[in-house]
Structure 1
Amino acid sequence: MMPNTRSDLQAARAAWQYRGQQRPPFAQVPGPGQESVWDYPRPPIYQPDDRRITVHAGELRIAVTESAIRALETGSPPSVYLPPEAVDHSLLEPSERHTLCEWKGEAEYFHVKGPDGLIRDALWRYPQAWDEAALIAGYFSCYPARLACFVGDERVRPQAGGYYGGWITDDVVGPFKGEPGTGHW
């Protein structure tokens, strides 16, 4: 449900049980070179990422950049946002879908014209992101369950559940929200 009023928005923000102040007992302990998603804050923070990011639909390259931004939020693998100029806009078709994040604002979605047909709602962006999220305004993120996303040479694994678009790589440990029973972690 999308918040309609300021009190709805405040209630949505307050509903989260974990906010990154203390790692819960069920959290995995990160090894060398790893991060725990339970150390990320809520509301999220935004961190520049200069690793090479590529996104493909089959053999068709949709995006490439070394100027991404990672959104880090408690309990979720990072969502990676790509600058508009990194994305091949000729492959995008606007979607009717819109969602609202209580931290980032309203998201609009895009289908990808892939080699095997339309990949529905594969990318999204916040055209007028709120507050601290203004850094990602106009930047695109995508679902690694629908597109082949790579950080360097590592293929990204999708976050469970289908709603969130977190990018699971070997350098982050969970468990991750999105699986059954993780609502409002």
Structure 2
Amino acid sequence: MAHPTPDPVAPGQESVWDYPRPPRVERVDRRVVIRLGGEVIIDTGDVVRVLETSHPPVYYLPIADFAEGALVPTVGGSYCEFKGAARYFDVRGGDASAPKGAWNYPEPAPGFELLADRVAVYARPMDACEVDGEPVVPQPGGFYGGWITAAIAGPFKGTPGSMGW
């Protein structure tokens, strides 16, 4: 399947079509806040993101920085050809729960060691996810966990017809 035409890139933006494949993992100087059930379940400046062609960044946050009881290991898993075997967590905050709302790679593949003690969270079931105070938009579709901000240009994988991108 042919790739789509990348959207125009405004000053200060990155195009997801300039991101690499295989993905790159990098530390970034950002503040991430996530709310669920009316509570802040994490507020951290210790942020790593994974960048992959056609995907908005996926933000990985230290497990230790989450509020106590916010991450509950659950059954099931998946496998990424680049990062390795993933496990899932139910995410809890206040009186809300997001089943399988987060995942991590406890023993990531070589090159992705920075992800070992970090968790990525799906934005869609949360009350709010913010990067440097900006509310994020979840990546389209139900499988991918990227976060869309004004700093990136698409189009983004996850929309109907994008499976082969």
Shorter-chain-normalised TM-score: which range? over 0.9
Which of 95, 110, 115 is equivalent to 1:116?
Answer: 95
Q: Give TM-score scaled by structure 2 length.
A: 0.93
Which residues of structure 1 form unaligned runs of 5+? 1-16, 19-23
What SS is found at the alignment partner of 2:111?
helix
User: What's the counterpart of residue 149 of structure 1?
Assistant: 129
Matched, 1:29 2:8: yes
User: What's the counterpart of residue 12 of structure 1?
Assistant: none
Greater helix share, structure number: 1
User: What's the counterpart of residue 18 of structure 2?
Assistant: 39
User: What's the counterpart of residue 64 of structure 1?
Assistant: 43
Partner AA of 1:150 in structure 2: E
Is the contact between residue 37 and residue 96 of structure 2 (CA under 8 Å) also seen in structure 1? no
User: What's the counterpart of residue 161 of structure 1?
Assistant: 141
Q: How many angstroms does 1:25 deviate by?
A: 5.8
Asked which structure has the greater CA Rg, the reply is 1
Partner deviation per Cα, 1:63-119 (whole Å, 9 max, x = no partner): 111110010000000000002222124222211120111110111111122323321
- Determine the C-alpha separation between the residues in 1 that align with 2:76 and 2:40: 24
Superposed counterparts of 1:86-101, under 5 Å: 86-101=65-80
Is the contact between residue 7 and residue 155 of structure 2 (CA under 8 Å) also seen in structure 1? yes
Which of 101, 105, 109 is equivalent to 2:84?
Answer: 105
Highest relative contact order (Cα 8 Å, sep 6+), 1 or 2? 2
What SS is found at the alignment partner of 2:11?
coil
Is the contact between residue 40 and residue 93 of structure 2 (CA under 8 Å) also seen in structure 1? no
Greater strand share, structure number: 2
User: Residue 124 and residue 89 in structure 1: after superposition, are their counterparts in 2 closer, same or farther (change >3 A)?
Assistant: farther
Question: Identical aligned pairs, as a percentage?
Answer: 43
Q: Give TM-score scaled by structure 1 length.
A: 0.83
User: What's the counterpart of residue 151 of structure 2?
Assistant: 171
- Determine the C-alpha separation between the residues in 1 that align with 2:6 and 2:156: 9
Partner AA of 1:161 in structure 2: G
